[in-house]
Amino acid sequence: MKLEVLRISSQDDSTSGILYEIKDNRRYFLAYTLEDEHRENKVMGETRVPAGTYNLSLRKVGGFHTRYQKKFPTFHIGMLHVDDVPNFEYILLHIGNTDENTAGCLLVGDSQNSNLIQKDGFIGSSTNAYKRIYKPIANAIHQGEKTTITYRDFDMEEIISNKSSDDVMMTSLVDDKFEKIIKDLKQIKSAVLKYKPL
């Protein structure tokens, strides 16, 4: 299973995003997301994880696991854990509503308020969203399916320029060259038609 977090709004105190499942080369919406803000230098409990692709596993120890085991006894088999994040530990997908409910972890919800308006951001119906997405993800991991999550900094990506570079040509330049080739071919054809052998 392949998951992707598309980060769409990075503000001073939070990052809003969207969680997708990627299947058959298409994105399928799963939930809205909320994380800590982007920082060049990590501040403990106040920084989102670096962009990249990470494996997911089930974490079966710790306070979150114990609480969720009691809260969801019929389906909880371990916390969704993001493995091997550089300089981060215990990064989970879990329930929460604002930036204050996370320390680098990914919160999920069924509604989202703009973090341009609410500085800590806000996602609603988090428990419902978590229960809905948890089962298929946890089951895939439990059954041994390689399950990854890719964090993509869409909010910070460079806009693709239409300027030409060494490896990219503008379409207008291609059109100009194409027109010149057509003109040259017409001249060659005309010269061939005028040519009369001795």
pLDDT tens-digit series, residues 142-196:
999 999 999 999 888 766 555 555 555 555 656 666 676 677 666 665 655 555 5
Residues forming a β-bridge with 165: 168
Domain boundaries, the chain: 2-156
Helices within 10-96 (DSSP H only): 63-71
Residue 48, token pair as written in the block:
């989102």
DSSP, collapsed to helix, strand or coil, labels residue 151 as strand
Report pTM: 0.78
Share of the chain above pLDDT 70, in %: 80
* 57 Cβ contact list (under 8 Å, min separation 6): 78, 81, 83, 141
Compute the C-alpha angle 22/40/123, nearest 5°.
50
pLDDT for position 175: 66
Lowest mean pLDDT among 4-18, 72-86, 177-191: 177-191
Q: Is the pLDDT of residue 197 over 60?
A: no
Q: Is the pLDDT of residue 81 over 70?
A: yes
pLDDT for position 198: 46
Place of tokens 């041994």: 144
Is the model more confident about 196 or about 57?
Answer: 57
Q: Is the pLDDT of residue 111 over 60?
A: yes
Give me the sign of the Cα torsion angle 13, 102, 58, 88: positive
What span, in angstroms and rounded, lies between the C-alpha atoms of 82 and 88? Answer: 10
pLDDT for position 42: 85
Place of tokens 């341009």: 116
How large is the average pLDDT for residues 83-108? 94
* 197 Cβ contact list (under 8 Å, min separation 6): none
Average pLDDT, the chain: 87
pLDDT for position 194: 54
